[in-house]
Amino acid sequence: MAEYAPIYTRPYENGWVNAPPEETPVTAEILDAYDIAVENIEGYLRDNPIRQPETASDISAVDVSVSGLTLTVQLKDGSGDVVSEKSVELPTGGSGTDADLDDLIVTNSISMGRKTGTNVGKQSVAEGYDTTATGYYSHAEGSTTTASGGSSHAEGYGTAASGLYSHAGGHGTKATGESSHAEGNNTTASEKCSHAEGHGTMATGYYSHAEGYASVARGGSSHAEGYGTKAMSSHQHVQGKYNVEDTTNKYAHIVGGGTSDYIRKNIHTLDWQGNAEYEGTVKSAGLILADTVTGQECMLTVADGNLQITPV
């Protein structure tokens, strides 16, 4: 029978002290608890000699596990049999709760699944699987997400928020512009205050918004929505599908009616002078026209096949 002589010495004879001195329900109380646990384990080993194995190779593992407030140590021989086992109940905090963790206070960063070898941003949070939070005050969660911009937030799968105050969520999205937001699947918001959502959309203009499927908002303050639409000029709105690109800022509003990226057409446009064009027929119960000389407005209507002009 082998006898065990305790060797553990408490680092601080009178116990740990919280530093900084504010009330922190984690620091000193938990460290004191582990000191007590180690002393209890060593006391057990001293009072209960362990069977001496025939050879040193008979001890194959030392397993330590924690379940709730119970810490268990097992010594196993070469065949996997438990040679000795000891369980110790860790003390609770003063209020009787599990180490008083009702209000957890952390003064720096939190890592729960942070990618190994990555920098830790100041007061950042990385949680999930292989997440990276290198920006100051950044937050990365989910799987393989990256929050590298200051105060940025990346969530979901494979998303990246690199712009200052940016947010990327969903799958494979990228928010690179300052205060930008990318969400959905493989969307990109690359300019200041831009927003891309849906699938494969790109908001590359300042304050632009792209939504739907593969739409692009490149003009400043532009908006593209629908399927494969492109808003290329400033303050422009495009909807529908596969419109003809307007890079000269001729139109304020475009409705696309194309069938593919190679067969684009417009079915309705409105220019900045208020002139409208339609691909099809415009149907109306009446039409008001203004006299170009006098300015008098007249209503044109058709009644029983006859054209009537009525001043309004």
The range of the structural domain enclosing residue 12 comes to 1-107
Domain count along the chain? 3
User: 44 and 136: one domain?
Assistant: no
User: 92 and 215: one domain?
Assistant: no
Preceding peptide of 25 cis, ω within 30°? no
Cα distances (angstroms) measured from residue 187 to each of 27, 80, 281: 43, 52, 37
How confident is the model at residue 69, as a pLDDT? 64
User: 170 and 189: one domain?
Assistant: yes
Residue 177: phi and psi, rounded to 5, are: -80, 155
User: 76 and 197: one domain?
Assistant: no
User: 256 and 306: one domain?
Assistant: no
- 310 Cβ partners below 8 Å, 6+ apart? 298, 299, 301
Q: CA–CA separation, 19 vs 34, rounded Å?
A: 18
User: 95 and 56: one domain?
Assistant: yes
User: 168 and 72: one domain?
Assistant: no
Q: CA–CA separation, 167 vs 299, rounded Å?
A: 53
User: 71 and 213: one domain?
Assistant: no
Sign of the CA dihedral with 225 first, then 227, 233, and 237 last = negative
Of 107, 122, 145, which residue is a domain's last?
Answer: 107
User: 188 and 132: one domain?
Assistant: yes
User: 87 and 224: one domain?
Assistant: no
Q: What is the CA radius of gyration of the chain?
A: 35
**CATH number for the domain that contains residue 248:** 2.150.10.10
User: 100 and 146: one domain?
Assistant: no
User: 43 and 82: one domain?
Assistant: yes
Mean pLDDT by 10 residues, the chain (312 residues): 67 68 59 76 73 53 62 68 73 48 66 89 92 96 97 98 98 98 98 98 98 98 98 98 97 98 97 95 89 90 89 90
How confident is the model at residue 36, as a pLDDT? 80
